[in-house]
Amino acid sequence: MQTRRRQIEDVASALFSSRGYAATSMRDIARALDLQGGSLYSHIPSKEAVLAAIVEEAAEDFHAAVRPVAERPGPAAERLREMIAAHVRVVTGGRERAKVFLFEWTFLGEDRRDAVARSRSAYQGYFERVVAEGVAAGELSAPDPKLSAVFILSAMNAIAYWYRPDGALGPDALAGHYAELFLRGLQAHER
Amino acid sequence: MQTRRRQIEDVASALFSSRGYAATSMRDIARALDLQGGSLYSHIPSKEAVLAAIVEEAAEDFHAAVRPVAERPGPAAERLREMIAAHVRVVTGGRERAKVFLFEWTFLGEDRRDAVARSRSAYQGYFERVVAEGVAAGELSAPDPKLSAVFILSAMNAIAYWYRPDGALGPDALAGHYAELFLRGLQAHER
DNA sequence: CCTACCGATCGGTAGG
DNA sequence: CCTACCGATCGGTAGG
């Protein structure tokens, strides 16, 4: 039973990710599992509950990967590099789930949507605080740490749209480039 | 008649932007204009045609604003600053239209979707080429100009999700911050 | 631009 | 897990 539910969530992730939640019907999900539409409801209570399960698991993955790094002591730049690597690994490691979490969560009902909004805000806070700590230590320059956090998160989240596992750039190389862009920008590196 | 069509597109922009294309019904659009659902079809041929009109106009706005700057001679950093300002102005100046263009275009039918994909790819090329020119001139450092273009465009496009005209940061201040982040990163500015 | 309607499809349930 | 169904809603059209 647990297994069947998992299969439903995996198929739903793929379909929600590629067509969007609203444009995916329960019968689309059932068809991919060789079931009749109504049969899904012996395993799940509603379409929204499937979305919620996907979203909540992905949210947990992101927090678990990034929070420990953010709260560790050490140079801010170094922690940011690792946080970027962790975030990119979660995105690329489960592209479909990540995409649904990042871009389809607004289709949740009010209560769950509010909870996700709070969770995302807390998550953004990890980046914001590490940037601010780097500034306070004289290590980094950022007039608006919150905007810096939004900036790097926006860039990383969009990876869920275009990343392909068989592409030229692996997760760590990609994360390395993004960290470099975030921390040093396009400035010609003086040596 | 022209006016009515325009009203339909404006209302559709607002609804597609906030709820998504698939989750917005023609009757939702009609209701906002105090019409019956079927009455819309004296002005437009289909739901998809409304989306296409919104998307194509926005695409044109982005190209018209950015292309001349990209193709002008001059230092790459300076052009990038202006391209970023231009892009951010288009996003913030028509948040709803921009959001629909940027994130709902995949609901277009195959032919129009392919055309938009080509247009977006050409648009990304403006940024990519200016970065590459800056590198060739020894002015900028970027191991992967294409990835740099994806990076800054991802960050800027996400602005359509959160920007509010009554917020603390106006379009030009916002663009200035983003240009600074892209060109210099978080590096502590040595003086 | 409205009334009235079309066939198709939606999320979900009853009863087995 | 299936068959058969529920009421609601979908995009779109005919005819005025």
Phi, psi (deg, nearest 5) at residue A187 = -50, 130
Q: What is the pLDDT confidence band of residue A189, given thresholds at 50, 70 and 90? A: low
Render pLDDT for B51-74 as a digit per residue (tens, 0 to 9).
999 999 999 999 999 999 999 999
How far does CA B164 lie from the centroid of its chain? 15
Q: Sign of the CA dihedral B64, B66, B127, B182? A: negative
How far does the CA of B42 sit from the C1' of C4, in Å? 17
User: For residue A3, is it within any domain?
Assistant: no
**Number of separate domains in chain B:** 1
As a whole number, the mean pLDDT across chain A is 96
pLDDT score at A188: 74
For residue B155, give the CATH number of its domain: 1.10.357.10
DSSP string, A119-130: HHHHHHHHHHHH
Beta bridge partners of A187: B140
Question: Any residues with CB less than 8 A from the CB of A22 and at least 6 apart, and which?
Answer: A107, B20, B22, B23
Q: What is the mean pLDDT of residues B114-131?
A: 98
User: For residue A39, is it within any domain?
Assistant: no
Which domain, by its residues, includes A140? 51-184
User: For residue B58, is it within any domain?
Assistant: yes
Q: Sign of the CA dihedral B86, B12, B118, B154? A: positive
For chain B, the distance separating the N- and C-terminal CA atoms, rounded to the nearest angstrom, is 61
B177: left (phi over 0), alpha (psi -120 to 50) or beta: alpha
User: For residue A21, is it within any domain?
Assistant: no
Q: In B, residues 39-98, which contact A (CB 8 Å cutoff)? A: 77, 80
The answer to whether the CB atoms of A181 and B184 lie below 8 A apart is no
pLDDT score at A63: 98
What are the chain A neighbours of B80 within 8 Å (beta carbons)?
Answer: 186
Render pLDDT for A21-66 as a digit per residue (tens, 0 to 9).
999 999 999 999 999 999 999 999 999 999 999 999 999 999 999 9
* Mutation choice for B interface testing from A110, A127, A181 by most B CBs within 10 A: A181
User: Which helix H or strand E contains A161, and what residues bound it?
Assistant: helix A159-162
What are the chain A neighbours of B147 within 8 Å (beta carbons)?
Answer: 169, 174, 177, 181
Instruction: Look at residue A90 and tell me whether its pLDDT is greater than 80.
Output: yes
Report CA-CA distances (Å) from A15 to A107, A132, B158.
15, 39, 23
User: For residue B67, is it within any domain?
Assistant: yes
pLDDT score at A47: 98
* Mutation choice for A interface testing from B25, B88, B100, B181 by most A CBs within 10 A: B181
pLDDT score at B85: 98
Q: Is B189 helix (H, G, I), strand (E, B) or coil?
A: coil
pLDDT score at B191: 41
User: For residue B40, is it within any domain?
Assistant: no
Q: Please give, rounded to a whole number of angstroms, the shortest distance from the CA of B181 to a CA of chain A.
A: 6
User: For residue A177, is it within any domain?
Assistant: yes
Q: Of the candidates B138, B155, B185, which has its C-beta nearest A155's C-beta? A: B155
Q: What is the mean pLDDT of residues B109-119?
A: 98
What are the chain B neighbours of A147 within 8 Å (beta carbons)?
Answer: 169, 174, 177, 181
Nucleotide nearest A39, CA–C1', reads: D1
Q: Please give, rounded to a whole number of angstroms, the shortest distance from the CA of A1 to a CA of chain B.
A: 31
pLDDT score at A191: 40
% residues pLDDT > 90 (chain A): 96
Q: How far apart are CA B16 and CA B23, in angstroms?
A: 8
How far does CA B15 lie from the centroid of its chain? 17
As a whole number, the mean pLDDT across chain B is 96
User: For residue A168, is it within any domain?
Assistant: yes
